[in-house]
Amino acid sequence: MALKRKVYVRVFMGEHQYVAECLDLPVVTLGATLDDVARNVQEAVGLHLDGEDLAELGFQLNPGIVISF
């Protein structure tokens, strides 16, 4: 099995804030601006992956994050 090099995230406008939802991980976060939500998703993904065996989750070491708006 090939390990993923990227975590894919989609961002959409919620009722009052932007919502970022990871397609590869159970991570969702919010932000008032696109810059805020981009920073928040990077932090949330980092916290989710911290201390985890990335290969077990299907990822290479230090995967990138691809955000689609």
Whether pTM exceeds 0.85: yes
Domains in the chain: how many in total?
1
CATH code, 40? 3.30.2390.10
Which pLDDT tens digit goes with each residue over 7-53?
999 999 999 999 999 999 999 999 999 999 999 999 999 999 999 99
| Radius of gyration (C-alpha) of the chain in whole angstroms | 12
* Owning domain of residue 56: 4-68
Going across the sheet that includes 28-31, the strands are 28-31, 18-22, 4-13, 59-68
